[in-house]
Amino acid sequence: MTHPSSGSAGRRPRVALIGAGAIGMAVASGLLRAGRAVVVCGGHAPIHRIEVTEHGTTSAWAVEHTDDPTTLGDVDTAIVAVKAQQTDSAADWLRAVARPQVTVLVAQNGVEQRERVAPYLGQPGAGASPTDAPQVVPAIVYLNVERLAPGRARVNHVGDVDLAFPVGEAVRELADELTHGGLRVRLEDDFAAAAWRKLLTNISANPLTALTGRRAEVLHEPAIRQAAGQLMAEAVTVAQAAGIHLTHADATAALDWLATIPGDATTSMLSDRLAARPLEYDALTGAVVRTAARVGVEVPANKLMLALLSALPSGEGPHRR
């Protein structure tokens, strides 16, 4: 099923998609279904069509493409879906949308989404009101998405929610649009706790698969499960010291969830390592280590994990067996 772009004169402002990878396409598809026009910002090759397959059905939409940040003057929403370690490469696009009344949805892993984009979006000057700066909306992404080719993705809806946002008026409007577009959105009263709960699985499954070069089956081995539990337990202690409402029951639940992942499933960090792409460890394990230093908590397992990940050869994947 092909849908034309809804971006013609006199219609609602466009949505800027900064990072047209798997997650970016999945989130954009919700706004496209809701009738919004999307402009893809930069990238290695122009994308003029987004095609998403879910539940066995493929839908496609015409989209615009631009390599010029100055063309984003009428944008009122931006989806930032580059990986955390690629945020600096999107600096020009972020500066281009750093205007009042623009909602910037940060669909990245970790617990530092706002802090990561803040240097590029600027801050209101003295005496200015919050309306003088863009509204930054951090997101927790639960979608399982596979990029098939440029402009093409397969979306799997896992669990009972696709995206989670913090509660807020500006967020409500965006959440309503995405819900209308078929995505399951939850507004979290305690967004920080929800983000740290998601972080528990990310600091264990991602590094352990990337370092071993093995898929999720490695997480089912007793010694690896024990290592994952230690990483999570340290993170819970850090979160509690930082005033985040997390408990060791959250770590147990996350550990049990890892055991349910099919053995042939992969992780984004393993995929990136095999493809010799930069890894996202600083936004995940790095966030735990930084917060631990700030609150005075020792995290030896996470420090070791960070050291091992940062020592991996750059631009080189492990040998395949």
**How many residues comprise the chain?**
321
The two structure tokens encoding residue 107:
């669909």
Distance between CA atoms of 310 and 188, rounded to whole angstroms? 33
Distance between CA atoms of 91 and 192, rounded to whole angstroms? 25
CA distances from 231 to 112, 204, 224, 242, 294 (A): 19, 6, 11, 17, 18
Active site amino acids:
198
3-state helix, strand, coil in the chain (%, to 5): 45, 20, 35
> At 149, is the secondary structure helix, strand, or coil?
strand
From the number of C-beta atoms within 10 Å of its C-beta (0-12, 13-18, 19+), residue 15 rates as buried
